[in-house]
Amino acid sequence: MELMLPFPVVASRSKIKHGDEIILLGSCFADSMTEHFQKNGFLTISNPFGTVFHPLALADVIESSINDDKSVEIYQKNDLFFSWDASSKIYGMSSDELEQNVTNARKAFKECLVSARVLVITFGTSWGYFHTSLNRVVANCHKERKESFKKELSEVNEMVSRWQKVLSLLNALNSNLKVIFSVSPVRHAKDGLIDNNRSKARLIELTHQLSESSMPDYFPSYELVIDQLRDYRYFKRDMVHPSGVSVEHVWNFFRETYFAQETKSLAEKVNKINRSLEHIPLYPKSNDSILHAHRTLESKNKLKSAYPQVYWM
């Protein structure tokens, strides 16, 4: 008896291998996937400006970095200074410090874009918080008063037009960069389920229009969780965020889509060693535990020597 709808893997002709630098941007789901990439030996950069959910805000982050933009729109809260283009992950204790931190982050991110092989972008919502004074959607509200914003559902055409420009900039910067779009399966329950679905529908249309008209791929994170698993047992206690089992299911599908057999085999070896290194023995001073630790390090060193392109956490 089938307990879920089948979802066949369509293997990509563009393969990802160890040594390829991978950037993940967008929803918090991108951070969840990063852990799997790293444990399997891939060099991965995740959300250097913090989680950014909206496509227009993500476009701002990429454009300002590529264009070497030195301007920073600042929000001060008590003795802290924040940027409207980043989460609270980036802050300063003065406006000058914040400007320096944002400028440094943009410079480092641009360098990553130049050298990266893969860029995975996971959109979270098309509900944007439009700052009435700045006249644009911000990356983070920083708990500013509601009167400063107008919450609005962005139009698909506007998002498509903006991202076509971003893709052109990315291609000019790094023509070898493989872009993969995805929609986060995390439900934005605070918007209400009806408005969450309206939002996700626009993101799905956005990603498909971009994938059908230009170079990017579409990876079905959303459909794998919402349509194939489709059960609350695959979510955390908040009934909103996918559980570890769900994220692993998506990871396995990604692996089958983008990894050649040689890459999958190597990733499994690296992951096995990392799991062994994370294991906390009950009797760490026992001969068996010491021997196990020695054998694990020996296996790691052999792999490091044979495959120097593997990233180790």
- Distance between CA 62 and CA 169 in Å, rounded? 9
Give the per-residue pLDDT at 100: 97
Strands ordered across the beta sheet of 91-92 = 74-77, 80-83, 91-92
Dihedrals φ, ψ of 216, to 5°? -75, 165
- Distance between CA 195 and CA 83 in Å, rounded? 28
For 261-273, write each residue's pLDDT tens digit.
Answer: 999 999 999 999 9
Interacting residues of 276 by C-beta distance below 8 A, sequence separation 6+:
292, 296, 299
Give the per-residue pLDDT at 3: 76
Averaged pLDDT, 60-86: 96
Give the DSSP H or E segment for 80: strand 80-83
Alpha-carbon torsion angle 120, 122, 126, 132, nearest 10: -70
CATH number assigned to the domain with residue range 22-259, chosen from the 4 options 3.40.50, 1.10.1060, 2.60.40, 2.40.30: 3.40.50
pLDDT score of 129 more than 90: yes
Strands (E), 74-145: 74-77, 80-83, 91-92, 118-123, 127-131, 136-137
Domain residue spans of the chain: 22-259, 260-313
Q: Which residue type sits at 21? A: E
- Distance between CA 82 and CA 85 in Å, rounded? 9
Q: How many CA atoms lie within 13 A of 152 on its CB side?
A: 14
For 146-195, write each residue's pLDDT tens digit.
Answer: 899 999 999 999 999 999 999 999 999 999 999 999 999 999 999 999 99
- Distance between CA 251 and CA 30 in Å, rounded? 11
Give the per-residue pLDDT at 4: 83
Averaged pLDDT, 25-34: 90
Predicted TM-score (pTM) of this structure? 0.94
Angle between helices 156-173 and 55-66 (to 10 degrees): 30
pLDDT score of 196 more than 80: yes
| pLDDT tier at 86, thresholds 50, 70, 90 | very high
pLDDT score of 212 more than 90: no
pLDDT score of 96 more than 90: yes
Lowest mean pLDDT among 89-93, 175-179, 213-217: 213-217
For 237-246, write each residue's pLDDT tens digit.
Answer: 999 999 999 9
Q: What is the mean pLDDT of the chain?
A: 95
- In angstroms, how far is CA 92 from the centroid of its own chain? 24
Instruction: For the chain, give the number of residues.
Output: 313
Q: Which residue type sits at 213? A: S
